[in-house]
Amino acid sequence: MGRRQAWILLVWAFALVATSAMAAAATVEHTFNVENVTVSKFCEKHVITAVNGTLPGPMIRVTEGDTLVVHVLNNSPYNVTIHWHGIFQLLSGWADGPSYITQCPIRPGHSYTYRFTITKQEGTLWWHAHFSLLRATVHGALIILPKSGRYPFPTPHKQFPIILGEWWNGNVIDMETQAEALGVPTNNSDAFTINGRPGDLYPCSKKHPYKLKVVHGKTYMLRIINAALNSQLFFKIANHKFTVVAVDASYTKPYITDVVVLAPGHTVDVLLTTDQTPGAYYMAARPYVSAQNAPPPDNTTTTGILMYDKLPYTSPIMPLLPALNDTPTAHKFYSSLTSLVGSPSWIPVPTKLDEQMLVTIGLSVSPCGPNATCRAVPNVPTLRLSANMNNASFQFPKSLSLLQAHFSNVKGIYTTDFPDQPPLKFDYTNPANSNNSALLFALKSTSVKQVKYNATVEIVFQDTTVIGAENHPMHLHGFNFHVVGQGFGNFDPVKDPKKYNLFNPVIRNTVAVPVGGWAAIRFRANNPGVWILHCHLDAHLPLGLATAFVVENGPTPSSTLPPPPPDLPQC
C-alpha cells in the first residue's frame, strides 16, 4: 500500500470515528411547566410551586455529549429561573440560570428555552430553581450516563435517585418576604423528605413513606442528592454499608462507610449490596448542625424503607444516626474522599498558580433600611443580619444581569475590586470575636473578581466566628475544583500547604468548609463568562454570602463567549 493510500485510509478512519460519535449524540428535549399545585401533607392541603405537578420534579436522563433542550413555561405567580447545578456550561453560560447573574428572571406568563451540550461530564447532578426560595419544591435529578456505557466499577443491578429535601407548612415566598422585612434568616423547615415524602415518623405520613424494593444479593447504585435549602444531612440505612464511587459527578476512589454526609447542593453516588437478612430496613436522614449561637434546629428525622424481595411488610429496623452536632463524623467523611485517578473527566491538580486568594466567610450586620423594623440584634431595631466574603456583602443587581453587563461592557452594574485578601486581619476562629463590634459590619456592594482566561486559581476559604461559626457549603458555578486541603482553626500559609493532597484530591463543585476552619480549592478558569460563587445555604445567599468570577475571553473562537440568545429574559 502506498503512502498516499495509507493517508487516505487514516483520514477515512478518523472521519468514521467522528461521524459515529456525532451520530451517538442526541438532542434530549423536555418541557417544564412551572405552576402552583395543591398537595396533601401533614393532615392539611398546601399550595406549592412545582414542575409538571410533581415533587421532586421530572428526572432528566442524558448521555455525555448530548444536547439538552428544556422549555420552561412559567405559569406560576412568581419569577423563576432554572439552574443546572454542576453543569460546566462550556460556551453556554447564558443557560446557567442564576437570577441576575447570567439572566434576568422568567416573569409569570412568559417562557424561556435552555439549550446546552453536556461536555466531558458523567454522573449525578441536579437542577433547581435559582430565584428566591423556590428550589424548596422546584428541583429534580439530572443523570448523565457514560457515553461508553461503562463505569469504572462493576455495573449495578439497578439505579435509584434518592433526593433529600426540606418541607415547610407554609408558602416559602411569604416566609422569605417576612424574613427580609425583619432582617433575620428564614424559619427552620417543618420536616425533611426523601423523594418528596416525609416518612412515617411525621404526623399523617405513615401510609406514604418512600419504599425501595430490592432483591437479596444484588448491588444497587443510589444517586443521593441533597436538595435541602439550609440543612446538611446525615444519611444511613440500618445494618448496611455503602461504597462511595462518585461525588458531584466526579468519580472517587471507592470509600466504604456506613454514613453519608451531604451539604446542600452535594450529590453522592454509592453502591449498596443487599447482603443482610431479608427484611425491612429504614433509610433515614437527619441534619448535621454546626452553627454556633443559632436558634434550635429542626431536630426531626425523615425515613424511607428498604424492603427485600416480596416479603410482607414488617416493622423496619432503625439505624443509629450521628448526633446533630457530630462534626468529627462529618469531617471524617468529607476529608476521606479522594478522586479516582485516570477515570473519565479526571484532571490533574494545577501546580502553577496565577491567582491566590484567602477569602473569609461568615455572618455580619448591616443597616436595617428605611421603613423597616429589624429584629436581628436584640434591642437594636436599626440592624439586620447579613453575610459576607472578605467583608464584602454581595448585592445582586436588578436592572441587568452581570453576564449581560460584562458581554456588552455596560458600566455601573458591578465593580471588579473584590479583594484577594481580607481587608482586616484578625484571629478568625477565636470565639471571643463573636460579638466584636469592630468586625460586625460589612458594606453592601456588587463586587466581583476578574481573571484571565485559563488562569489557575487557588482559594482558601476561612470560616470566622463573627456572630457564630458554621460549616458553609461553597458552590462555584461553571467549574469543578480540586479540594486540596481542609482543616480546623486559622489557615497557616506556611505549614498548611505542605499538607496539601496534590495527587488525588477529591473533585467537587461544592465544598463544605469546616466549622471554625478552612478549605483550599484549585481550578483552571477555562470557561469564559460570569460565574457566581456562593454559599448554598439559602438562608445565607440573600444575606450576601456570594461574589462572582468574571472570566475573560480567550484568544480563539473556542474560548470566546458567544452572544446571548434572542429570547433571553430581560429585567
- How far apart are the C-alpha atoms of 455 and 133, rounded to whole Å? 34
Among 304, 293, 230, 302, smallest CA distance to 263 is for 230
- The pLDDT assigned to 22 comes to 43
Q: How does the average pLDDT of the chain come out, rounded? A: 93
Cell reading at 504:
488525588
Residue 14 has pLDDT above 50, yes or no: no
Three-state secondary-structure class, residue 134 = helix
CATH number of 355-559: 2.60.40.420
Query: How many C-beta neighbours within 10 Å does residue 342 have?
Result: 9
Cell reading at 462:
476561612
- The pLDDT assigned to 4 comes to 38
Domain assignments of the chain as residue spans, ordered by start: 23-150, 152-345, 355-559
- How far apart are the C-alpha atoms of 83 and 128, rounded to whole Å? 5
- The pLDDT assigned to 9 comes to 34
547 φ, ψ to 5°? -155, -165
Beta-bridged to residue 116, according to DSSP, are 68
Residue 377 has pLDDT above 90, yes or no: no
Instruction: Work out the percent of the chain whose per-residue pLDDT is above 90.
Output: 85
- The pLDDT assigned to 375 comes to 83
Among 390, 124, 73, smallest CA distance to 252 is for 124
Cell reading at 54:
410533581
Confidence label for 409 from pLDDT (cuts 50, 70 and 90): very high
Given CATH 2.60.40.420, say whether it is the number of domain 152-345: yes
Cα angle for residues 347, 474, 509 (degrees, 5° grid): 25
Among the ranges given (75-89, 299-313, 396-410), the one the predictor scored with the smallest mean pLDDT: 299-313
- How far apart are the C-alpha atoms of 391 and 355, rounded to whole Å? 19
- The pLDDT assigned to 294 comes to 80
Average pLDDT over every residue of 72-94: 98
CA distances 372 to 65, 179, 381, 431, 508, Å, are 51, 11, 8, 31, 40
Residue 182 has pLDDT above 60, yes or no: yes
User: Higher pLDDT residue, 207 or 102?
Assistant: 102
- The pLDDT assigned to 309 comes to 87
Q: What is the CA radius of gyration of the chain?
A: 24
What's this model's pTM, rounded to 2 decimal places? 0.94
- How far apart are the C-alpha atoms of 393 and 366, rounded to whole Å? 9
Confidence label for 435 from pLDDT (cuts 50, 70 and 90): confident
Domains 152-345 and 355-559 share a fold: yes
Among 429, 479, 434, smallest CA distance to 457 is for 479
Query: How many C-beta neighbours within 10 Å does residue 417 have?
Result: 11
Say which residue the cell 458555578 belongs to: 477
Average pLDDT over every residue of 408-421: 97
Torsion sign (Cα): 51, 54, 55, 59: negative
- How far apart are the C-alpha atoms of 482 and 442, rounded to whole Å? 29
User: Higher pLDDT residue, 371 or 15?
Assistant: 371
Residue 353 has pLDDT above 50, yes or no: yes
- Our separate counts of H helices and E strands in the chain read 4, 32
- How far apart are the C-alpha atoms of 257 and 236, rounded to whole Å? 9
Query: How many C-beta neighbours within 10 Å does residue 209 have?
Result: 21
- How far apart are the C-alpha atoms of 370 and 159, rounded to whole Å? 53
Residue 293 has pLDDT above 90, yes or no: no
- The pLDDT assigned to 2 comes to 46
Among the ranges given (101-115, 269-283, 312-326, 475-489), the one the predictor scored with the smallest mean pLDDT: 312-326
- Judge whether 448 and 479 are in contact, CB under 8 Å: no
Average pLDDT over every residue of 426-453: 94
CATH number of 23-150: 2.60.40.420
How are beta strands 242-247 and 250-257 bridged, if at all?
A: antiparallel
- Judge whether 202 and 167 are in contact, CB under 8 Å: no
Confidence label for 310 from pLDDT (cuts 50, 70 and 90): confident
Cell reading at 43:
393532615
Confidence label for 24 from pLDDT (cuts 50, 70 and 90): low
Instruction: Work out the percent of the chain whose per-residue pLDDT is above 70.
Output: 96
48 φ, ψ to 5°? -125, 165
